[in-house]
Amino acid sequence: MPLLHYKGFYYGIKPRIWYWDFLWESSLNVAKYRKEANLSQLKLAMLMGLNSVSLVASAETYRKSGKHFNLEHIYKISEILKVDIGLLLK
């Protein structure tokens, strides 16, 4: 049975993890592995080819800002941090 998604809510079978929880966990994982690699948000942003730290800072505080990393960002971050992409998306 497919899920019906409307205005941020799922109807039908409740997914195991909600979309916003997934984004929150991903942002926490990025922050965790970035700190383990001793990289600042600014350094990570520059290595990703961004012109400012705004996206990284906002996405790492997803619950406050509502901004999140997209798949291209996650891929670049996994390459920069030399971390399996699955660990960032866990």
Per-residue model confidence as pLDDT tens digits over 20-54: 788 888 999 999 999 999 999 999 999 999 999 99
pLDDT tens for residues 49-80?
999 999 999 988 877 777 888 999 999 999 99
pTM here? 0.75
Q: What is the CATH number of domain 17-88?
A: 1.10.260.40
Residue 9 per-residue DSSP state: E
Hey, what are 88's tokens? 């960032």
